[in-house]
Structures are given as C-alpha cells and as structure tokens.
Chains A and B, each alone.
Chain A
Amino acid sequence: MKDRQPKLKDYLHDIQQCVKCGTCHAYCPVYDQERREPVVARGKMALAQTLLEGKTEIDERFMRNLSECLLCGSCSNKCPNKVPVEEIVAATRREIAAQKGLSLFGVGLTQVLRRPWLMKLGARFGHLFSAVLFRRIPQQSGLRLRFPAPYIRRDRTIPKVAPHFLRDSYPEFIPGAEDRPHVALFTGCMINFMFPQIGDAAIRLLKALKINIHIPKDQGCCGVPALSSGSGGTVTELAQRNFEALGRTKVDAVLTMCASCNFGLRSHLAKIGGEAGEELAGKVMDIHPFLIKYGIQEILAHTPAPAEVTRVTWHDPCHLRNIGVTAEPRALLRALPGIEFVEMPDADKCCGLGGTFSVYHYDLSLRIGAKKVDSIASTKAAVVATGCPGCMLQLQDSINHAGLNCRVCHSLELLDRALNLEQSE
C-alpha cells in the first residue's frame, strides 16, 4: 500500500528546533552505555538534517547510527524544545528504506506483519515445534532458544508460543450491562499469540465491571515493528486494517493492554487521513486508567487478603510513561490484597528492548537490560509487573541472564489472580 506516513522533509521544521543543547544525553539509555554522539538524539537530528540538506550519503555507518535508537521517547519527553525525536528517527528509517530498500530482516518481518494468516501459521508452527526449539530453564520462567535462528542469538529467552490464541478463544462480542460502556479490545500480536493469559485476565476484569466487550477478529498488528524497521507502506496498510476492524461498531474506548500497541495504534490511526481516523485514535486508551475509572478499586476493596504476602515492583514501559500513565498502575498494585508494593530506582528507565533494536544490537540491549535488573534486584521483589509484553520479554531475558530469582508478569495477571476471577468463572 502507498505509504501515507509523513516524509522526512515534512519534519524539517521540527529538526531545526533541535538546538544541540545536550539535554538528551541525560536521558538516553543507549548513550548511557555508549557515550557516543551518534547514538543520542541530537546526533541523529544532525544526521537527519545533513541528509535533508543533501550533504551526506546513506552509507553503512549512517544506517547503523540510525538503527541505534530504542524509539523509547525518553529524550523527547525531556527535550526543552519538544523535538519529536522518535518520529524523526522513524521517518529517517523510512527514507533509508525508500532509498536503499528494507534490511533482510525488515523484509521478512513486514511480509509476516501484513499477512495475519502467515503470522498465525508461523505461530501455530512455532507452537508445534516449541518443545524442539526451546528448552525450559529450571526454576525460572521463560524459555531459551535451543538452535540458533537467523538474527536471534541462542542464549536469548523467548517465550513459548501459546497453545491457544486469544482472538480464537472468544466471540466477537461479549455483552455486559446495558448502561455500561462499549469497548473494543485491541489484542496486539504478542498477547494474541504468546501471552493470551493477559487477554484472558483483561476480559475477566472487564466482565466483572459489566463492560460490553468487542473483540474484532480481523484486527491486526499495531504497526510498531514496521515503523521501527522503516516500512511506511506497511504501517499505513496496518493502520487502515485496524481502522476498519475497530471502527466498525461505535465504541466508547479502544483498550490496549500493551504500551507499544497503545503508541502504535494511536499515532498511526491519527495519520491515515481524515477525521474518522483521528476520532478513533482519540479513543485509544490504556486499560489501567479505564479499570480505575469504572470501579475496579471498589471491587478490590472488598476482596479478602491471602495469607501470603508477595513483594511486587513496577517497571514503567516507555510508551505508558510518555503518555503519563504512571500513577494508575501503581495505584492498582497498591490496592491489591496480599501485595507489598515497592518502588524500584529509575522505574521509568527503558528496559532496552526497542523492537528491532534488540535484534540488531542484542549485546547493547542486554547491557541496558542489566542496569534495569540491578534496579529490580535492589527492591528484593519476587515479582516485577509491567504493562507491556515487549518489556516482559526483555525483562525476563535480562533477569535470566543475571540469574536473578524474580518473575515477570503483566499487572493484569496480578489483578485477575487477586480477585480470583478464574476460579469464580
């Protein structure tokens, strides 16, 4: 499909807003490891600017420098001039793809992303061969790849593909109370294929609140992996598909359980053109504030506490932090019976996954993850909760590398368990 994403030249004014002050140094997780200007936002703004001025060629180093970004938004969040760095980096990557073609990995990835049947087939295949591909690590959750796969190192923890997929397990509409809101649940790929238990938990929680739930089967990928690889056409195509699937029935909110999906869905819907896209984008909402708004805390208040107390800490996914969803997940965790909530230092620092970043720069990604693990370890928490399956993947991998005895889960799983909803069904 034709790429309707903004072009790099559309960002010229934004790029000029970067005054090279250096504030981004203080917040970039990659710079924190590397201490080189090309990895940090202002270096990338200089590269984007010289590219627009025609003063540089896209060579191998140029591409590498542009690939060294997590798109985490830590810099733009603190930028005095509010330069939209992630958008500019993504636009530069699209420019690279337009001039040089997608990387081999990018080609493979986008082929899968734009074909849900292929993704499903791959996932099904992955499930059948899970036992051969992965081996379980004693005492720790998560799995490690047994055989080296292209681009993926063998000591990397990859979760098992789920035996059932989320969207296959539910009807497209689950009615709630008549006077309660209607929501569309955006499942995202990782929750649909790898962590359906998060979706199960979300659906039980929404049912407990008597919400009317729509789960359109033809929704697809949010577009973040395609954005990260620089495939503008795929981003547009996916956004169009999601617009049609999620916009079919009039809903009050489109709920996400994955921070990155929230970012992807919201920003890409807004850019497909037309007011309808923008209106739907405006309804995209993370599930934590929604649950609070519709009274989950009152239910929690009447839930008896278990005998055992678990110590839990919270990791802020970048894409929740960037939209200011930081208080709500904490409020929910604090409200859980049987849970002692502890704040970790630098909870809002990126875990280091960054989508395709960790595929191209796995060592660097692990070094950023190791710093996160130090923060987690200092809390002596048994569980680290977060609101993004991507972060879960990275956190568990980093924890396994460090040999720390700590489990990673989605906050929705803790909520579900505390309310014992699965048993009462």
Chain B
Amino acid sequence: MLDKAIIQQLQQIVGADYLTTEPADLTCYAFDATQRRYLPDVVVYPHNAAEIAEILKLANAKRIPVVPRGSGSGFSGGSLPIEGGIELVLRRMDRILEIDEENMIAVVEPGVVTETFQKAVEAHGLFYPPDPASLKFSSMGGNVAECAGGPRCVKYGVTRDYILGLEVVTPTGDIINTGGRTMKGVVGYDLTRLFVGSEGTLGVVTQIIVKLIPKPAAVKTMLITFDSIRGASQAVSHIVLGRIIPTTLEFMDSTSLDVVRKATNIVIPEQVKAVLVVEVDGEPELLEKQAQQILTIVQPFGVVDTKIAQNKAESDDIWKLRRSISPSLRTVNPNKFNEDICVPRSRIPDMIVALEKISSEVGVPIINFGHAGDGNIHVNVMVDLATPGMDEKVERALRAIFEATLELGGTISGEHGIGITKAPYLRMELKDKVIDYMRIIKRALDPNNILNPGKIFGTDGGQ
C-alpha cells in the first residue's frame, strides 16, 4: 500500500479524476493476455509527457515501482505490476499529431491503437506495415515497447524498422528526444533502437515518429497445400531463392490442420499435411504474373492443390482457414502455453520434427503454425493444468523447445518479448557477459530500478 501523501501528490499531478485506488478498479488492471494476476496499488491515466515526468520523479524519489501499460494485450507480462506500485495507463494519450505526406512520416502518441493509425495513414495513400495479430486493440506504444511483428514482416520488417525517433520520459523523470524526422541520422548512439523493444524497462515513450511507405496498390492471396511440411518448407526456400519476397508466407503444420479439421466444418483433404497461405502485393497487373511464378516454383515439392483468390471473398475464405486455428486450440485442452520461437527459415522442417519429438516424449499436445517466411513459429503447448504433475511436464517441454530452437540457430522470442514469462529462460540464449552489459544500461538509466522492475532479467532486476 502506498501512503496517503503519495496518492495525494499523484492526484495533484494528474487530477483526481485520472487516478484510482478503488479495489474494483485495480482488479481490472491486474492482468494482461498472459492471464497472470498482480494488483497495482494505484492506477493513473496521465495526459502528457510533463505529467509522466512528474510521476517518475516522485516514484524515483520514493522508490515506487512504475509499470507503463498500453492496451495490456501482451503475451509476456510486460505490463503486469508484479511488485505493485503505480500502473501508468497510456491509452488516453491517443492523438495522431501529424501525418506528413511530403516526408512520409507521422507523429503519434503511444495510446493510439495500431489499426486506427494504419487506417488514418492509408487514407493518405500511405502504409504502416507492422501487423501484429492484436492490431485492432494493441497500442502503438505497446508495439514499440515490444517491437511487435506480424505476418507482413517477412517483406516489410518489424516495428523497429519504422521508428525514426522518440520522445521518452526516463526513469529519473527527464524528457529526452532520440532520433528525428529524417531517414538518415548518425549523430551519437542510436538510442531510438535501444528503447524500441526495451519492454518498458528503460523509459516511457510519449511520442513516436514513424516512417511510412506508399500503400501497395493491390494484394493477391493464394493457398497452396502440400503432402508434407518438408515440401512446404522447401517451397518457401525456393520462392525466396527465386528472388520473390511475398508480403506474407503463413504456414500450418499437420498438428494445426488436425485441430481445425476437428473443431470446424472446414474441409481439408486427408493427404494434406501442410498449408501455405501466400500473399503478394504491388501493381495489380504484375500480381497475377507473380502468383503464377510462385505456383511454378512450388510445383516440385509435393503440392496437393493450389488456389489463387480472384476476389476479396475468396481471399477472406483462405484467411478463414488460417485464422480458425487460434479459436480452435481450446478444443484440445483448456490451458495454452503460447511460445513464439524463431529459426532461420530453412530450418523450419527440422524444428517441426523436433517439436513432434518433444510432444511425444513429454506427452503433451503441441500445435504449430506461424510465419514461414521469417521462421517465426507459434508453438502452442496445450494442456490441462488441473492434471497432477502437468506443471512439471510443461516446464520440461518448454525447456526442450527452447534448446532445440537455439541449436538450430534461432531465438526464443521473435515477437512477444521476455517480460516475466520467458525471464527464466533468458540465460539459455544470452551469455552472462551480454546480460551484464544489458544490466549496466538498465542501471545507468534507472539507478533505483523503479521502472517495470522484475522484467526481462527476473526479480533481481537491474541490480
């Protein structure tokens, strides 16, 4: 519990209407999409960087944990107040401050919902490509903090590739600007990149300068089914070797196809063991040709069937198959451990084989799908935690999955971040020396470890 004097000081900073300590409100900020629960002591809804600076100065002086929160839709616990303290909700700072068509940049506040921003720039014929699955409700600030990805990243890159500059409030309450409004800029260290993906541990982002590109004129969607995951994966490699980079290259393996077969009325022939959903974008007259090229390239790799969508309805139908996996997963078992490992794309078949082996050895269903184009696999360990001994089994499966990932030259998190859910596995991927340097950075910016303590490095924090 924070003492009354501190609550009063916070009230003076943000106004009494923009702060709550009511238990029935705090309960609603105790969770994110990881479903773990930690109660904050107070929730504040600041309006601007100046207020946030005041809050952080106070928190730093009094050693109170502060946890920034956008939409609270993260999968690694980045916005959870695991040590209580102040939950800093940024959804009220949701203005699109500027869309500069001539320089193809935009300036936004962190609370803007990603899709709202995308629609706004697309109205100007511009394009902001990162498309995490949560884009209808996740915030730009959250996307920056976690360096969000999405299916389109295979062609366009991830959030960090579109952030030119930031306004950040540091844990000691300074308001600083990093980067700027130009494509080029090499003055000093690239602090912008340091803050992007720092999971709200180094500063609170209050303004974001975003790079935009022209909106592609058209998109073409196709569905290719294969008799094996190896065939599908070889097809992906050969599409890329053919120097075509599709906008999206989504795959479903036989485990996810089985789930969809069981949970929905979508008909998938039995001999189909893997599916690719491929999209290309660009000038409409070039797309048909490119689609045909892709179909020719993939032909030798055990193709069962192909389909090129001729209109929006047919394209929606293809996506329906891919999008039906997530909702179907819960028919397998009630509890989901959703990992987002990433391997070099040529190693996907090896990873799938490893996952099958782990699944049968540990005795837990593992369902896989994801972004074949960039090797990012969504691995879903589906269990019923009410079963005795299941916690231990899950732990064993996760460790084995991460070991296999790293052996194949991959990384344990492609999109979701470390937060608290992957903190216990950090040392599997990063050498002690690397972690030491990261902690030196954390300590330099946040000497009292008040900003999002316990994240990434575990509960011993940045100290």
Q: Taking beta carbons and an 8 Å cutoff, which residues of A are in contact with B?
A: 16-17, 19-23, 25-26, 35-38, 42-43, 46-47, 50, 56-57, 59, 61-62, 64-65, 80-81
Contacts and interface: CB of A to CB of B under 8 A. Distances in A.
B59 to A, nearest CB: 21
Nearest to B37: A46
A59 B31 contact: no
A21 B28 contact: no
A256 B23 CA distance: 42
B137 A46 contact: no
Chain B interface size band reads 20 to 34
B23 A19 contact: no
Interface of B: 22-25, 27-33, 35, 45, 71-73, 91-92, 94, 111, 113, 115, 134, 136-138, 326-327, 330, 334, 336
Contacts of A50: 27
B39 to A, nearest CB: 10
Closest 9 CB pairs of A and B: A43-B28, A22-B73, A37-B28, A25-B137, A62-B24, A26-B136, A61-B22, A61-B24, A35-B91
Nearest to B32: A20
A37 B70 CA distance: 11
Given A65-B24, A81-B327, A37 B29 contact: yes
Given A38-B24, A43-B28, 19 more contacts: A19-B35, A20-B31, A22-B134, A25-B73, A35-B92, A35-B94, A36-B28, A38-B28, A46-B27, A46-B28, A47-B27, A47-B28, A56-B23, A57-B23, A61-B25, A64-B24, A65-B25, A65-B28, A80-B327
Contacts of B327: 80-81
Contacts of B134: 21-22
Contacts of B24: 38, 47, 56, 59, 61-62, 64-65
B72 A22 contact: yes
A21 B73 contact: yes
Nearest to B70: A22
Contacts of A61: 22-25
B207 to A, nearest CB: 18
Contacts of B111: 35
Which of A36, A57, A65, A80 is packed against the most chain B CB atoms within 10 Å?
A: A36
A25 B30 CA distance: 16
B37 to A, nearest CB: 8
Given A20-B35, A22-B134, A46-B30, A59 B73 contact: no
A43 B32 CA distance: 10
Contacts of B330: 17, 81
A37 B31 CA distance: 10
Majority secondary structure, B binding face = loop
A100 to B, nearest CB: 13
B119 to A, nearest CB: 12
Nearest to B334: A16
A80 B338 CA distance: 15
A37 B23 contact: no
Contacts of A16: 334
Contacts of A42: 28, 31
Nearest to B91: A35
A22 B33 contact: yes
Which of A38, A47, A50, A81 is packed against the most chain B CB atoms within 10 Å?
A: A38
A58 to B, nearest CB: 9
A47 B31 CA distance: 12
Nearest to B336: A19
Contacts of A62: 23-24
Nearest to A63: B24
A59 B28 contact: no
B29 A59 contact: no
Contacts of B22: 59, 61
Nearest to B327: A80
B33 A19 contact: yes
19 contacts: A19-B35, A20-B72, A21-B33, A21-B73, A22-B33, A22-B71, A23-B136, A25-B73, A25-B137, A26-B136, A26-B137, A35-B91, A36-B25, A38-B24, A38-B25, A56-B24, A56-B27, A59-B23, A80-B327
A36 to B, nearest CB: 8
Given A35-B92, A80-B327, A81-B327, A25 B71 contact: yes
Contacts of A81: 327, 330
A80 B137 CA distance: 14
Nearest to B33: A21
A65 B330 CA distance: 29
B72 A37 contact: yes
B16 to A, nearest CB: 14
A38 B89 CA distance: 13
Contacts of B27: 43, 46-47, 50, 56
A149 B33 CA distance: 44
Contacts of A23: 136-137
A20 B33 contact: yes
Contacts of B23: 56-57, 59, 61-62
Contacts of B326: 80
A56 B23 CA distance: 8
A60 B164 CA distance: 46
Nearest to B138: A22
Contacts of A59: 22-24
B111 to A, nearest CB: 8
A17 B335 CA distance: 10
Nearest to B72: A22
Contacts of A57: 23
Contacts of B334: 16
Contacts of B73: 21-22, 25
Contacts of B137: 22-23, 25-26
A77 to B, nearest CB: 13
Contacts of B113: 25-26
Contacts of A64: 24
A279 to B, nearest CB: 26
Nearest to A38: B28
Nearest to A81: B330
A35 B46 CA distance: 12
A80 B327 CA distance: 5
A25 B139 CA distance: 11
Contacts of A36: 25, 28, 45
B308 to A, nearest CB: 28
Nearest to B36: A20
A57 B22 CA distance: 11
A237 B31 CA distance: 39
Contacts of B336: 19
A59 B22 CA distance: 9
Nearest to A21: B33
A57 B91 CA distance: 28
A84 to B, nearest CB: 15
Contacts of B71: 22, 25
